[in-house]
Amino acid sequence: MLVVLGGMVGAPTRFLLDRAVGSRTDSEFPLGTLTVNVIGSLILGALVGAAAHGGEVMALVGTGFCGALTTYSTFGYETVRLVEDGVRLYALANVVVSVAAGIAAAALGFAVAHAVLA
């Protein structure tokens, strides 16, 4: 039930954030998807850094909210769409930046939560 509740908040948050970011740029680069994926990685990294393994918080926020907020399928779709549209440099940048920023955000969230709670 907690996963469902978290997802009920995460999915519309993803939609609203993606649209808010997308409406502020004319770029073909999918900044909205990048934004939600990096935010989700940061939150999940912080949860793990806070040692919230298992339990209600991880189900609600980690699996439910972050699972619904982030979107690998949209990331994949948008990357393929960029290739099909002939902007291969944007496609490559989307892959590199998304993976690097996601890992960096998770590491930052982990380090900050671990330092604050240690």
User: What are the backbone dihedrals phi and psi of residue 46, each rounded to the nearest 5 degrees, phi first?
Assistant: -65, -40
54 neighbors 19 (Cβ within 8 angstroms): no
Q: Which amino acid is present at 34?
A: L
The predicted-structure confidence for 89-114, as pLDDT tens digits, reads as follows 999 999 999 999 999 999 999 999 98
Tell me how far apart the alpha carbons of residues 46 and 66 are, in angstroms, rounded to a whole number: 12
Tell me how far apart the alpha carbons of residues 58 and 34 are, in angstroms, rounded to a whole number: 23
Crossing angle between the packed helical segments 2-22 and 31-49, to the nearest 10 degrees: 140
Structure tokens that stand for 7 in this block = 């997802």
Say whether pLDDT at 29 is over 70. Answer: yes
Tell me how far apart the alpha carbons of residues 76 and 65 are, in angstroms, rounded to a whole number: 20
End-to-end CA distance of the chain: 31
Q: Which amino acid is present at 114?
A: H
Q: Average pLDDT, stretch 74-95? A: 97
Q: Give the torsion through C-alpha atoms of 54, 76, 91, 62, to 10 deg.
A: -20
Say whether pLDDT at 53 is over 90. Answer: no
